[in-house]
Amino acid sequence: MTTNRISTSRLSTLALTLALTAASTAAYAADPTDEVVSGAQRARGGAGLQVSSWQPDAPAGLSHSETAAFQGYLQKGLDMHLAWENTLGYWQRTTSWSETQPLIGTTNHQLQTHLVPMVTALRVYPLTKPGFPVEPFMSAGVGPVLGIQQQRTTGGLTPGNTTSMLTGLGVRAGAGVDLRAGPAFGITVGGHFESASFGQDMVGDRLYQGWGVDAGLSYRFQYH
């Protein structure tokens, strides 16, 4: 009876020791995993500003001038290789034309078109981890586009100014390279295809699309 009690006591002690060891190991393993995930998310977080040569096709036979396309973005890391981008862009075109009619004379038109895309995109770094000095990436996303048109008419029978606003769908896909100049700042170069489509014609067009070459500055958030 004494031997049985000693054996039972030893077994109970051994089981308790194993249980505590397993619990400690699981807790120790969980913390680094959480730290790795949060560390990767923080390392991919950042912001940037880009300028692009994106110029959609212009109406034929009309005089026009265009600005470069601009885009600012906030980047939220998901893991070592993925990040979300919330972007806000701007592009503007001025189009001019004239009409001459008997008895009425010449009517001059000037149309300013403003596009403001707000695209949410997924950026993928397939080959590198945060901290690499050269990081190729691919990105693609969709989002709403605000189209604003301001038309000014002079001469003729009905001179005046009108403003209209429409909401369309924006699609953007591209690739590029992040070049890190240090832990915080870097340069981004690449190219993309972008389109903005509207359910009804704005003055002049319903679909704006084209390719662009991009360059800009990037910043990685610092937490220490």
Q: Which of 222, 128, 211 is nearest to 173 (CA)?
A: 211
The token pair at 142 is 């969709």
pTM of the predicted model, to two decimals?
0.75
What is the model's pLDDT at position 36?
Answer: 63
What is the model's pLDDT at position 47?
Answer: 94
CA distances from 189 to 11, 45, 121, 204 (A): 66, 18, 17, 32
Distance (Å, rounded) from C-alpha 64 to C-alpha 203? 14
What is the model's pLDDT at position 143?
Answer: 96
What is the model's pLDDT at position 151?
Answer: 83
- pLDDT tens for the chain, 224 residues: list them: 444 444 555 545 555 454 544 544 444 444 445 666 677 778 888 999 999 999 987 766 667 788 899 999 999 988 888 999 999 999 999 887 777 777 666 778 788 899 999 999 999 999 988 888 999 999 999 999 999 988 887 766 666 788 888 899 999 999 999 998 888 899 999 999 999 999 877 666 788 999 999 999 999 988 76
CA 129 to chain centre: 19
